[in-house]
Amino acid sequence: MNDFKKHLRRILIIALIIFFCYILQTSVLSRYPLAGVTPNILICVVATYGFMKGRRYGILIGFCTGLLLDIYSGVLFGLYALVYMYIGLLNGLFKKQFFGDDLRLPMILIGTSDLIYGVLSYFVLFTIRSQKDFSFYFMNVIMPEVVYTLVVSIFVYYAILHINNWIEKFEKKGSDRIGNY
């Protein structure tokens, strides 16, 4: 029963993080575009949980985050769930190389994830409409979004890292208490 409570608490905290970042991305940051783009904070969340906690977390969080975007975007239902799920899976492959304080790997993975997201979005959403100016889209939308996302992701990454460390410390303290009885 105690494991169930720990998992439920962790799930609720992750759901709140996803929801908070979704609101932040779609309302606050969309009012302040830089070079015509807004950062993709949800990519930061999916990538961070993927390489921090592994493939299973990456897939589940990616799917749920993408599903949230699918529900509210009205584009091709399931597209974002699939893309974010695979991004979570790919980042989960790097769990063994992850060290919390080293910022290089998270930035490389988040930047690559946003680049993959941008390229896939272009090919799925724009080639369907026969708009084929990839070089223009790449230089004016994808790359500025990657840069903006990387700048914002430093803060998002450290926030998620601290929340995750707090949860693990809290869970360890709780299991130590139980072990002492």
Contact 148, 36 (CB under 8 A): no
- Residue 180 pLDDT grade (very low, low, confident, very high; cuts 50, 70, 90): very low
Residue 119 has a pLDDT of 93
pLDDT tens readout for residues 18-65? 999 999 999 988 888 888 899 999 999 999 999 999 999 999 999 999
Contact 66, 81 (CB under 8 A): yes
Q: DSSP character for 34?
A: B
Contact 24, 156 (CB under 8 A): no
Report in angstroms the alpha-carbon separations of 120 from 37, 115, 123, 152. 17, 9, 5, 22
- Give yes or no for residue 156 having a pLDDT over 90: yes
pTM of the predicted model as reported, rounded to 2 decimal places: 0.88
Q: What is the mean pLDDT of the chain?
A: 88
Residue 131 has a pLDDT of 65
Percentage above 90 pLDDT, the chain: 60
Comparing C-alpha atoms, which of 53, 42, 155, 154 is closest to residue 94?
53
Highest averaged pLDDT of the listed ranges 1-5, 21-25, 165-169, 175-179: 21-25
